[in-house]
Structure 1
Amino acid sequence: MRRMMALLLLLGFVLNTAAFAQTAVDKNGALTIAGGKIVNKNGVPPQLRGISLSWSLWAGQKYYNPAVVNWLATDFKATIIRASMGVQPYGGYLQQPDLQKQLIVSVVDEAIKQGIYVLIDWHDHNGHLHIPQSKAFFAEMAKKYKGVPNVIYEIWNEPERISWDTVKNYAMQIIPEIRKYDPDNLIIVGSPKWDQDVDVAAASPIKGFKNIAYSFHFYATEPSHQDGLRAKADKAIKMGLPLMVTEWGVGEASGDGYFDMEKNKKWMAWVEQNKLSWVNWNVTDKRETTALLQAGAPAAGGWLINQLTPAGFYIREQLRLLNK
């Protein structure tokens, strides 16, 4: 009897350990669209929460390495990260495609290894002017990562003051390039005015392809990003548009400005209420409100608390609390 009890206790320990060791992708599997929502393998919203790397240019470029991805997954407890490949200005993908692809692949491969989701982000404000380059890039990524459930394609970071027809036309050219090689993985489409006009997209969504969602961006302290912007997103959600918050910051839309905790709490309550997945901007040591790192923070992760900015401390705390 004692031996039997010992075996049962051991079995329970092993099972509990295995459950604890499950990664975000183990738990959720391939993401799909159902009932106007992004859902996991069990048909429920996974509510992923994580962090965006900065533009793969300038100060943020040094953080595009496996060690940082490992640290974000293990210490920050991020379940999704975003690789924001700078297309412009000089030094981005248009001038240095091989370097930029190498940076993105190093991040994506480590995210897959860590069992978390990763957005391959065409970080461009003028995607409609770079259609041939975007098609070639996403075709290559889709060939490489077809069927890998971790990978999400974000095909245009932030269209600026451009019509929805222009954004939609761009998407209708890029999506087929991905679908030639990867028929199922989630694709995220942008919307006009820096991913704020999601209600406009909801009135005329993309048809003919499965597993298409839309990005929604906000900056929690920006005066114009308050009740009115939430109302636009509420309208889109009510109309059945599947949303992911692929970028948001604790400060203002410039990346700088004031960090208002009450406004951040209000946005976080809204996101949680709607069970939306989100990615916070951004991993860099630039002197800005939304930067997560203090100047000179190590390029290989392992950051101490005093190497985090107020934004970095807050986001780490939120991720460790919500992604338990």
Structure 2
Amino acid sequence: MKFVFALVGLVLACLVDISVSKDAALETVSKHGQLSVQGVDIVDESGEKVQLKGMSLFWDVWMPQYYNKESIDGIHDSCHSNVVRAAVSVVTEEDGGYIETPEASLERLYAVVDAAIEDDIYVIIDWHDHEADQHLDSSLEFFDIVSKKYSGVPNIIYETFNEPTGQSWNDVLKPYHEAVINVIRANDPDNIIVVGTPTWSQSVDQAAANPITGQKNIMYTLHFYAGTHKQWLRDTATNALNNGIPIFVTEYGTVNADATDPVDEAESRLWWDWLDEHNISYANWAISDKLEGASALVANATSAEVCLEDFLTESGRLVVAQNKA
């Protein structure tokens, strides 16, 4: 009888482990299919809640060596991710971006998106700009091109404005997003669109006070860096959720907001607990070998070494462990 009870206990323990622990690498597009927004949650094609966990690439003009299939394989297999974010640089002071070299930018983006589709994971197409409202024509052109190319592909998530700074939500950002959303929806009626919020995508409360209406599958961006952004920002985001605003953390770091050390493990875990409690999806900044605390990779890591244990930084190791937890 003791043996029977022990066996039952072991089976129950295994069942608990399976239900609580989810390796994001196993939660793929072929499993969940077309995503949509229901209330404040992402749900799959069966109506079950889904959480995406993964990695953001660095600005494409500065880390083009990771915009390829090898890197995406590593992000899925070794970083245990079911989402990758492609950060398409729009304009930089010295090194260009989509506005100057659109063909090169699109080539890098397509390499990532096509690899993500092949690897059966979701991919965020991020218009990585701080002044996208000043580049509206380019934004409309870009999202028209990519939404036509990938219309109906369930892997795709659009991010229309990475990090607004001081722009007004009511007067500038909301009209900008509505214009871009209309272009995307003319080609792609269903895939999720994530819209940036004021103050480097922290002021989700402003969006909650005047949300976008008349559209479906719209979410709002929240960015945080654990060393800088503490309980006060979680409180702001909780209030936005309580007001019905669905949130997607398309970028976060374990370090300070300027990407510098130290890694704040305790605060990162508080954030992860909060994100998991509210079924919020998140992507870590960044797949980069730059010598700064936010980088997931050590210096000179190649695309073939992306997310392999020996090539992860302190932050990278912490994030990978969380992605498979």
Normalising by structure 1, we get a TM-score of 0.89
Q: 1:180 to 1:250 in 2, by over 3 A?
A: same
Paired residue total: 299
Q: How does 1:108-147 map to 2 (within 5 A)?
A: 108-147=113-152
- Give the structure 2 partner of residue 10 of structure 1: none
Q: Secondary structure of 1:248's match?
A: strand
- Aligned twin of 1:202: 208
Distance 1:35 1:257 in 2: 37
- Identity over the aligned pairs, expressed in percent? 40
- Give CA deviations for 1:152-203 in whole Å, capped at 9, x if unaligned: 0000000011110211011011111111111111111010001111011011
SS in 1 for 2:276: helix
| CA distance, structure 1, for counterparts of residue 129 and residue 222 of structure 2 | 15
Q: Is the 8 A contact 1:220 1:251 kept in 2?
A: yes
Specify the alignment match of 2:90 in structure 1: 87
Call closer, same or farther: CA 1:231–1:23 in 2, change over 3 Å: closer
Q: Which amino acid in the other structure matches residue 262 of structure 1?
A: A
Structure 1 residues 100 and 240, CA gap change in structure 2 (3 angstroms): same
Task: Name 1:55's counterpart in structure 2.
Answer: 59
Tell me, in whole angstroms, the C-alpha distance in 2 between the residues paired with 1:123 and 1:57: 11
Q: How much has 1:260 moved relative to structure 2?
A: 1.5
Give the conservation status (yes or no) of the 8 Å contact 1:52–1:279.
yes
Unaligned runs of 5+ in 1: 1-19
Give 1:179's match in structure 2, choosing from 162, 178, 185.
Answer: 185
Q: Is the contact between residue 91 and residue 99 of structure 2 (CA under 8 Å) also seen in structure 1?
A: yes
Q: In 1, are the aligned partners of 2:75 and 2:306 still within 8 Å (CA)? A: no
Contact 1:213/1:242 (8 A) holds in 2: yes
2:220 is equivalent to residue 214 of structure 1? yes
* Equivalent residues of 1:51, 1:282 under 8 A apart: yes
Over residues 13-52 of structure 1, what are the superposed CA-to-partner deviations in whole Å (9 max), with x where a residue is unaligned? xxxxxxx997611221111111232221222321110000
Q: Which runs of 5+ in 2 are unaligned?
A: 1-22
**Structure 1 residues 187, 279: closer, same or farther in 2, change over 3 A?**
same
Measured in 2, the distance between the counterparts of 1:50 and 1:303 equals 11
1:299, distance to aligned residue in structure 2 (A): 2.7
TM-score scaled to structure 2, two decimals?
Answer: 0.89
Q: Tell me which stretches of 4 or more aligned residues in structure 1 moved more than 4 Å.
A: 20-23
Name the Cα RMSD after superposition.
1.5
Measure the CA separation in 2 of the matches of 1:214 and 1:270: 17
Q: Which residue of 1 aligns with 2:169?
A: 164
Q: Aligned partner of 1:76: which letter? A: C
Question: Corresponding residue for 1:237?
Answer: 241
Q: CA shift at 1:111, angstroms?
A: 0.3
